[in-house]
């Protein structure tokens, strides 16, 4: 019986040792990202650029290249705040699809039914209604840009 307990204990120790997740070394990949960031900054003629690699809410790597403020010669940092412009579309569509997954809206719901204060009429009689789907696919017929600058 003693041997059974010893064997069980040994198996538990061995299985615990092998079940530990090994940390993968991504240092070469991070060096490539750093080179890419610098090259992308130059290629796109950007004053500065920052990036982070995140896994399960843990920052694995962060870096920056260029300047956050050209006039004051301030370097970009991973914490530099940039204008996100069109990337806000990604956040909006993810939030909408989360609502869809939760059954809180349908893609073919009319915007006027979801937003009671919405009062923009279609300009063309043969246009279809403005729905969540047509907004997400940029096929709603709404104007491309507002009359106000960013």
Let me know if residue 41 belongs to a domain: yes
pLDDT of the residue at 13: 62
Q: Are 81 and 100 in contact (CB under 8 A)?
A: no
Task: Report pTM.
Answer: 0.51
Same domain membership, residue 74 and residue 29: yes
In a domain, 12, yes or no: no
pLDDT by 10s per residue, the chain, length 150: 555 555 565 555 656 555 666 778 888 989 998 998 899 999 999 999 999 998 888 999 999 999 999 999 999 999 998 887 778 888 899 999 999 999 999 999 999 899 989 887 777 777 788 899 988 888 877 766 666 655
Task: Answer yes or no: is 143 within a domain.
Answer: no
| 101 and 127 co-located in one domain | yes
Which residues neighbour 47 within 8 Å (Cβ) at sequence distance 6 or greater?
Answer: 41, 66, 67, 68, 70, 76
Cβ proximity of 145 and 135 under 8 Å: no
Q: What local confidence, expressed as pLDDT, does residue 107 receive? A: 95
Query: Considering 82, 106, 126, which residue would you say is the last residue of a domain?
Result: 82
Predicted pLDDT at 78: 93
Residue 126 confidence (pLDDT): 76
Q: Do residues 74 and 92 share a domain?
A: no
Residue 150 lies in a domain: no
The verdict on 97 and 67 lying in the same domain is no
Both tokens assigned to 113: 């039914």
Q: Which helix (H) or strand (E) holds 141?
A: none
Same domain, 73 and 92: no
pLDDT tens, residue by residue, 29-44: 899 989 988 999 999 9
- Where b means 16+ CB within 10 Å and e means fewer, 107-125 reads eeeebeeeeeeeeeeeeee
Largest CA distance in the chain: 86
Q: What is the pLDDT of residue 56?
A: 87
Distance from C-alpha of 101 to C-alpha of 106, rounded to nearest angstrom = 9
- The domain total for the chain is 2
pLDDT digits (tens, 9 = 90+) for 51-66: 999 888 899 999 999 9
In a domain, 141, yes or no: no
Q: Which domain holds residue 30?
A: 25-82
For residue 104, is it within any domain? yes
Choose the final residue of a domain: 82, 100, 123.
82
Task: Please indicate, yes or no, if residue 98 is contained in any of the structural domains.
Answer: yes
Query: What 8-state DSSP symbol labels residue 78?
Result: T
């Amino acid at each position: 019986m003693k041997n059974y307990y010893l064997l069980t204990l040994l198996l538990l120790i061995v299985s615990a040792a092998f079940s530990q997740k090994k940390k993968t070394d991504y240092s070469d990949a991070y060096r490539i990202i750093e080179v890419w960031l610098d090259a992308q900054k130059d290629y796109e003629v950007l004053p500065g650029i920052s990036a982070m690699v995140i896994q399960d809410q843990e920052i694995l790597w962060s870096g920056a290249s260029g300047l956050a403020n050209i006039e004051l010669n301030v370097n970009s940092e991973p914490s530099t705040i940039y204008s996100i412009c069109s990337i806000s579309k990604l956040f909006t569509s993810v939030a909408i699809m989360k609502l869809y997954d939760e059954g809180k809206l349908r893609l073919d719901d009319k915007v006027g039914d979801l937003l009671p204060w919405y009062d923009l009429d279609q300009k063309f009689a043969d246009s279809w209604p403005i729905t969540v789907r047509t907004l997400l696919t940029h096929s709603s017929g709404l104007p491309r840009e507002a009359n106000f600058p960013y």
